[in-house]
Chains A and B, each alone.
Chain A
Amino acid sequence: AQKVTQAQTEISVVEKEDVTLDCVYETRDTTYYLFWYKQPPSGELVFLIRRNSFDEQNEISGRYSWNFQKSTSSFNFTITASQVVDSAVYFCALSESRVNDYKLSFGAGTTVTVRA
């Protein structure tokens, strides 16, 4: 079963528009971690954020913000006032880790294209 679902395959916006990427996860663990990664056209993966299951506070970092809702098993990511440099593939990931048993499941990714 898919543990992390990113239902949006591609999103295209015009510069300065806001864009929200959805991430829905599935786990039976009470302790888990959620991540967002960015993969720009150059190919490398860039860590954006980690959130543990006990911290439901939303987070804002510059133009990026994340909304974690355990009740709906979602960890959505919003880019405010998008820029062309935000064009990338964004991956949501779930880690159900235990000692010596690291598990990390990635979603399929959402390709964001920001047009000038």
Chain B
Amino acid sequence: DSGVTQTPKHLITATGQRVTLRCSPRSGDLSVYWYQQSLDQGLQFLIQYYNGEERAKGNILERFSAQQFPDLHSELNLSSLELGDSALYFCASSLGLDPVGEQFFGPGTRLTVL
């Protein structure tokens, strides 16, 4: 158990809908990262937050957004969903700002868009 929690574990929705994925980092970790794992694109880094502020962006679509709250949990919002958004979404956390330190991954949220 990495100490990172993600909810929900599974999510099934329809095209055009909007969903919110939630992540609670390990206690004490200030950085949160979001990743997407799909059959087409493989594993991709989406975005990093540190202590409430966005610090780095990867291959995140404009239909996707994220935020980190004062209690350090983070939410990833996916809107106008398309079939291709079906994927496993991981959240990871690390202690500091340096993203190349060890990151601890949550169990993931499996999103299915029908």
Contacts and interface: CB of A to CB of B under 8 A. Distances in A.
Interface string A68-110: 0000000000000000000000010101010011111011110
Given A106-B42, A108-B42, A44 B100 contact: no
Contact of A43 (B88, B92, B99, B104): B88
B100 A106 contact: no
Contact of A95 (B90, B99, B106, B107): B99
Contact of A44 (B45, B55, B99, B106): B106
Contacts of B106: 44
- The prevalent SS among residues of B at the interface is strand
B68 to A, nearest CB: 15
Interface in A34-65: 42-47, 50, 52
Between B2, B43, B44, B58, the greatest number of chain A beta carbons within 10 A of the residue's beta carbon is seen for: B43
A115 B44 CA distance: 30
Nearest to A107: B42
Interface of A: 33, 42-47, 50, 52, 91, 93, 95, 97, 100-104, 106-109
